[in-house]
Amino acid sequence: MMRLVLLRHAAAEAARPGLSDIDRPLSPKGRAEALDAGRCILAARLRIDWLLVSPALRARATATLVAAELDRSEPVHIESALYPGKPDEILQSLRRSAPGVGSVLMIGHNPGLSELAQRFHRVQPPIELRTAGICCIEFDEHASWARLRPELAARVTVLR
């Protein structure tokens, strides 16, 4: 079974003059949220084969903390389509995932991640991921990353 785990980056420091949006670091609250997200993924027993991450500093820092919590030493893959992360571009990057990959953890931004989750969910109320929010999407046995489309989603669960 294929699984996509969407994780919105943890809380970042507020924007300030002279600091570009892509370079905003995690706040102390965000570091705690990222660790909690890692524990949530661990508690749900979600195996992660592939980790795709936005190039934004707050997303990369979230990935580092989550990976440490999961005791994951494999490299993260920076995916430029995740910043700022329009749903169609995110979906295209997923379609390029390796055929043997069973589960992908994608760390990015709103509104793109929530909009993508909602495409797979297709019912109300809409999914709105909070900072460090997690949505797990499982696909039926006929799914492949190359031909990924919303109708193949078998179950959508918001974990955090």
Q: Looking at the domain assignment, is residue 140 inside a domain?
A: yes
* Cβ 120 vs Cβ 130: under 8 Å: no
> Is 44 a domain residue?
yes
In a domain, 17, yes or no: no
**Amino acid identity at 144:** S
Domain residues for the domain of 135 are: 3-11+24-158
CATH number of the domain at 147, please: 3.40.50.1240
Note down pLDDT in tens along the chain; length 160 residues.
899 999 999 999 999 999 999 999 999 999 999 999 999 999 999 999 999 999 999 999 999 999 999 999 888 999 999 999 999 999 999 988 777 899 999 999 999 999 999 999 988 889 999 999 999 999 988 889 999 989 999 999 999 9
